[in-house]
A and B are shown apart, each in its own frame.
Chain A
């Protein structure tokens, strides 16, 4: 299989998805400016034209609503938000409209929309240009939420999101764009709701999402040298969640650490910890560990950012900590 960078995996997927289905189009502020979306949209405008690669004014709420409307009318739009932070403008359309449509109208018509939400943090851009809001979207019934961590999953999950009849928040982290990995040239899907064991282990279950999978792999290697055998799970999809995979692992190791790049309170770690307590309580040998952002907005200064973002070291520290107890 070829090895390609993550950014190319997304680009190739967009090309194939748009070429392969005339109902699929890409819309969002900046989609015709390749650097604005980190090179993921290269060549799309030239190939498909402005009818299907639609750049928009800065009107996040109406553009999101329009994508929903087009989806209801039979299209399968991919809506790009260049930073998740800007999606707050579109929250009514996402949470009140898209998420509720199928249920509220008694299952008559769903919203087959992929919302491609980009996490674009770091680089000292402060609180309104750094957010990872997966927990917020995961909270809302009617939405599906996925977070690829590898080029392979970037492609497979994006195609699965487009194929899904429901609104899917496809959360993509710019810190992954340089990462390379094996990706089939042909189209394939990674089913929504299927996690993957990235490394087998027996001492502790480490669940990591998106970019933190990369850091968790480093942490697991460090811990290995210390004689700690980590089982690393990448859920890939936060909603639906692959509960079986997670619980099976927790039952085996008896210990759980969750590393997610969102805030701590009411975050992904809290949800997964609650699940373990609810469904695998008697297997737990120690308290659950959580690696997350601290409960503070993102700062600008590099010294503050360094303290703010979790990494392999903070993950390893959390694993050591729960093994002590």
Chain B
């Protein structure tokens, strides 16, 4: 089934929103306006978009440390995201979480994690809830190649498999965990083989081709809704920038490799396709870019003008005060 044109344009707009959001967040970070760490998602936009566009609002999604793209794709408000990155009171977490922990629980996001692989069991639990509930909601969890070496990865895949849970494990294999190549970290060099060992069906897809990602996710999501068990998707991709934004930290990956992957830009690739198939004109794409840039400016303005948290807010929200007897 072909993807309709409006959906293709929406995907283009969202990928571009992620790209421009990350570019701006990095720029502001380097300029000193943004505190903390910023793990850029640039280069991997097609994965979040292709997967999340197949999720419903009531499906649960669990993100990781490189999560801005996942959030934007699931429909989070970029103004409140930017405000969180700026450490402002209007941010999604009131400035308590920062860049690594932005989440909008009202649209089915159950968290973003600073602990590698910790999202996998949480998403498995969300799928268990969906399973107990008996509807057709599903869970999806994003994680990197590095996360596959944690015990929680192995245990989660096994649990999801023996309980036949409605969950999709979305592995973004950008080939490195910080500077460690996955071929060093993974015995046998294959993530899919590992998932198959837990009896999960697996598909490896080009993570820089949003149409391929979308089509694979569409099929897998539909299947998962029928409660036949979990599914594992491996997306081959690459992050364009260092592990996180910082000039103090050298990127040890080969320069030629970085340059080669930049040529496989997922956004340019979609643009080319849209133009070739007559879905959009160059002018229309430029108009989308202008519109996106305008929204990013607006998000930054919102963040800058938002109030800082009050110092004493640091001591609040430790416990929920609801439902206490």
The reply to whether the CB of A266 lies closer than 8 angstroms to some CB of chain B is: no
Say yes or no: is A16 at the interface (Cβ < 8 Å to chain B): no
Give residues 83-140 of B contacting A (CB, 8 Å): 87-88, 91, 93, 95-101, 113-117
Whole-angstrom distance between the Cβ of A27 and the nearest chain B Cβ: 14
Instruction: Tell me which residues across on chain A come within 8 A of B152, comparing CB atoms.
Output: 89
A201 within 8 A of B: no
How far does the alpha carbon of A304 sit from the alpha carbon of B177 in the complex, in Å?
Answer: 30
Q: Is residue A85 within 8 Å, beta carbon to beta carbon, of the partner chain?
A: yes
B87 and A302 form a contact (CB under 8 A): yes
Q: How far is the CB of B252 from chain A (nearest CB, A)?
A: 7
- The answer on a CB contact under 8 Å between B98 and A301 is yes
Contact of B314 among A60, A61, A124, A304 (CB under 8 A): A304
With A58-B177, A123-B35 known as contacts, the answer to whether A304 contacts B115 (CB < 8 A) is no
From B35, B115, B249, A35 is in contact (CB under 8 Å) with: B249
- Whether, in the assembled complex, A33 has its beta carbon less than 8 Å from a beta carbon of chain B, the answer is yes
Are A126 and B97 interface neighbours, CB within 8 A? Answer: yes
Looking at the assembled complex, report how far the CB atom of B82 sits from the nearest CB atom of chain A, in whole angstroms.
13
Check if A35 sits within 8 Å of B36, measured CB to CB: no
Report which of A57, A123, A294 forms a contact with B36, defined as CB distance below 8 A: A123
Nearest CB of B to A262, in Å: 16
Report the bound CA distance from A55 to B149 in whole Å.
13
What's the Cα separation between A296 and B35 when bound, in Å?
Answer: 20
Flag if B252 contacts A33 (CB, 8 Å). Answer: yes
Residues of chain A within 8 A (CB-CB) of B178 are 30, 33, 36
Main secondary structure of the interface of B (DSSP, over half): loop
Query: Is the pair A57, B35 in contact by a Cβ cutoff of 8 Å?
Result: no
Interface size class of B (residues with CB under 8 A): 35 or more
List chain A residues, Cβ under 8 A from B101: 126-128, 300
Given A57-B177, A129-B114, decide whether A302 and B35 contact each other with a Cβ distance below 8 A.
Answer: yes
A300/B314 contact (C-beta < 8 A), A58-B147, A125-B37 known: no
CB pair B185 A124 closer than 8 Å: no
* Given A301-B35, A301-B309: A125 and B318 interface contact (C-beta under 8 Å): no
Asked if B248 CB lies within 8 Å of chain A CBs, one says yes
Contact-residue size bin, chain A (C-beta under 8 Å from the other chain): 35 or more
Interface presence of B180 (CB below 8 A)? yes
Kindly list chain B residues whose C-beta atoms are within 8 Å of the C-beta of A35.
248-250
Give which listed residue, A62, A303, A308, contacts B308 with CB less than 8 A: A303
Nearest CB of chain A from residue B81's CB, rounded to whole Å:
13
Q: Is the CB of B180 within 8 A of A57?
A: yes
Please tell me if the beta carbons of B35 and A124 are within 8 angstroms of each other in the complex: yes
Report A-chain residues with C-beta under 8 Å of the C-beta of B115. 85-86, 88-89, 128
Which of B99, B113, B311 counts the most chain A CB atoms within 10 A?
A: B311
Contacts of A125 in B (CB 8 A): 36-37, 98, 100, 114
B79 CB to closest chain A CB (Å) equals 16
B190 close to A (CB within 8 Å)? no
A307 to B308, CA, bound (A): 13
Q: Which of the listed residues A88, A129, A297 has the most CB atoms from chain B within 10 Å of its own CB?
A: A129
**A contact residues around B309 at 8 Å (CB):** 299, 301, 303-304
Report B-chain residues with C-beta under 8 Å of the C-beta of A86: 115
Q: What's the nearest-Cβ distance from chain B to residue A188, in Å?
A: 32
| A residues 107-123 in Cβ contact with B at 8 Å | 123
Q: Is the CB of A124 within 8 A of B180?
A: no
| Pair B87/A303 contact, Cβ less than 8 Å | yes
- Which of B157-198 touch A at CB < 8 Å? 177-180, 184-186
Query: Is the C-beta of A286 less than 8 angstroms from some C-beta in chain B?
Result: no
A242–B100 alpha-carbon span in the complex (Å): 40
User: Chain A residues with Cβ under 8 A from B310's Cβ?
Assistant: 303
When the two chains form their complex, are residues A58 and B35 in contact, meaning their CB atoms are under 8 A apart? no
Interface string of A66-90 (1 = CB under 8 A from B): 0000000000000000000110110
Decide if B179 touches A308 in the complex (CB within 8 Å). no
* Most chain A CB neighbours (cut-off 10 Å) among B117, B146, B315: B315
**Which one, A60, A128, A306, contacts B114 given CB within 8 A?**
A128
Answer whether A296 and B314 are a contact pair too, CB < 8 Å, given A301-B95, A301-B96, A304-B309: yes
Q: Are A303 and B311 also in contact (CB < 8 A) when A57-B185, A89-B150, A125-B100 are?
A: yes
A244 at interface by CB-CB < 8 Å: no
Q: Is A59 engaged at the interface, CB distance under 8 Å to the other chain?
A: yes
Q: Does A295 contact B (CB under 8 A)?
A: yes
In angstroms, Cα B151 to Cα A126, docked, is 24
Which A residues form the contact surface with B (CB < 8 A)?
Answer: 29-30, 33, 35-36, 55, 57-62, 85-86, 88-89, 123-129, 294-297, 299-308
Beyond the given A58-B116, A301-B95, could you list 6 further A-B residue pairs with CB under 8 A, ordered by the A residue number?
A35-B249, A58-B147, A126-B97, A300-B87, A301-B87, A301-B309
A-B contact pairs, 16 of them (CB 8 A): A57-B184, A123-B35, A123-B37, A126-B36, A126-B114, A127-B97, A128-B101, A300-B35, A300-B36, A301-B35, A301-B308, A303-B310, A303-B311, A307-B311, A307-B312, A308-B314
